Structure 1
Amino acid sequence: MHVKDNIWKLYIIKGIMWFMVAMPIIVLFFQENGLSLQEVMILQGSYSLMVALMEIPSGYIADLFGRKKTMVLGTFFCFIGFALFSFSFGFWEFFLAEILLGIGNSFISGSDSAILYDSLLQSKQTDEYTKIEGKTYSIGNFSEAGAGILGGFLADISLRYPWYVQAAVAALAIPFAISLVEPQVKFKKIEKSFKAILQVVNYTLVENKLLKWFTIFSAITGVATLSMAWFAQPFFKDVDIPIKWFGILWAILNISVGLSSYHAHRLESLLNRKILLSFIGLGIAFCYISLGFSETKWGLLWILMIYLIRGVATPVLRNYINEITTSEIRATVLSVRSFIIRTCFALTAPFLGWIADIYTIGGSFLILGVLVGGIGFLCSWKLIALSKQ
């Protein structure tokens, strides 16, 4: 087996892990098992918190012991989590399943991009990273789109059937993770200590100014796009879209992300970095603000635009971060980025949800637009200034 084979294997792993058959019916499933909406949100908060807490340690473990090993652990934990969901009927069983999924996904997060970049580094193909990362991301979104439609049909038979399929599909990722080849890129292994983790965090967010602002910019756009994943369905409901269309719209949005991420490398080659960063930051902010003033079905166009920009932002910003990061700390740095996204989302989501409950969902969109626009402008200004030095 050659390190180049990692690329198509990572495509398959991404497609499997994003084949979220149960996602369109997850709230209905919990409620059918006697959970209140408050308990449902506690479960989701527990998952996000676990991912956030494990992000940096998991990236450190990947840098220390190898990305392949953490990928195997991650796929195994996800399989156990989904399997537990399929046979659970109460809050605490679901809680344990969420914790297992949080651990599993945090092990995969960062390790997949790190092993991809180092595989390309060994093969002297790093100039292809944005293209391949974009293709990987698009495969995930196409997979999620198809899974959403299938999940709707399965749920029509039984709300538990999607979970059986989900567990079976997740198991398929394990042998592909085991078959990955650890890239033989020469770099100094980081030391085995908690102090070493703090040193990488300090390097990412304090010492390396360029990396710091790229990470913050990537994080704020990540929070914005993650928020839309949760606020899209309430918006559908507010503008009186029939529930039977939810799955189809979800599929369309994921396909749009897949298409834009697939072609992200083309946009990166056409536009200079300053213009592309401005397009991502100000584009998301403009769409959110416009959506805040839209209370009709026309608002769907602004949601679609946010998803299209998301497809470009993810592979492009990861590439920028990878370009200025050394191999021995790559997974940890990418995990710092994910940690910031999850933590910021965990802090802002309850407040934005409260605004939507007390006032309107449009108010939440306006706040997000102002936050993304302000922080995005600051990051772009800092990055442009640093690039001139």
Structure 2
Amino acid sequence: MTSRVALARRPSIHDVASRAGVSAATVSKVMHGVRTVKPENVRRVQTAVAALGYRADPLASDLRRAKRRIIGVIVPELESEFFGTMVTELERLAEDRGYSLVTATCRESVDREEDIIRRMHDWRVAGVVLAPVRDEHGPAASYMKQHSMSGVIIDRVLSDDIFDTVSADSSTASIEVARQLVGKGHRHMLVIGLGSHAATSKARIDGFRAEALDLAPDCRIDVLVAESQIGALREAVRAYFDRGEHPTAVYSLFAKGTLVALSEFRRRGWRCPEDVSLIGFDDAEWMQVTWPSIAAVVQPVEAIAGNAMDMLFERIEGREGQPTARLQRCDILLRESVGVSRHGQPTGGEEQATPPVAD
């Protein structure tokens, strides 16, 4: 009976050491890839590991180090391809370094964002990659600063005084979108988005508006931005079109907004790009395969994830100094949904902006 109980428990590092005839310290070195161990001892340890089915206990070793080999990731949501792909890439990069990834979504709630970062601090994560609901001044970033946590802020941020930051160059991308649309004769354009307080939303709107008006002072730009609920944006867009507005181009600041706009076009029998042009920030598979294919601003997900992880591990390993702010260039793919305006120049000449939508 005693033998069966012994076999049922999880093999320990001491079991491996006993079977291989070496010390537990030698087993630990082999498991961590230390190259100074004698080849014969490496072989014996590996044979014992295979025979016993031994797996290292990460909790036990992490407790000895005071911090676990865990990276925490907080994102607003996982429904979009952008954040889904981002988390997948961050997980791969963490595992390449021998770390595990724990991901949580704050569901676009700053209160939940704060609750999650408190829990991650309790778990003694080695570091955090934070994509905040709004910007670098939110509760999670503030809590990380107060408790001297290692972290990198990505996406909805431009720069920070404590943490390294990585995001897409939203302003430059939106400037290029404005150039393309104005260059194709569009003079009445609608911008739709979500989260007016987010740093990236503001950068996209401001960059687009400033460039369009600089190139064509007579153009009209309408802006519809809901705070957090896609349903509120959908209702606002529908009401906008119902009262007779017909811009020649729509620029959506996020992928779901692009789908909202396209759905409203089809309800009214409008064709892209004959009746209205459409371009969205963030690419998605459906935008590539639908007809017509939808023009998109493509964010460099892999570059953002790679830079974020490189900077995070540098901080974990003790690098000091001023924080670095990195902006990654986006690509503009003008697919079939963008064409030359057939509606001519609007009259009036003054920019018009609808008020932000409250939800």
What range describes the TM-score normalised by the shorter chain of this pair?
under 0.3
Higher helix share: 1
Of Structure 1 and Structure 2, which has the larger fraction of its residues in strand?
2
Larger Cα Rg: Structure 1 or Structure 2? 2
Q: Which structure has more RCO (C-alpha within 8 Å, separation ≥ 6)?
A: 1
TM-score normalised by structure 1 residue count: 0.22
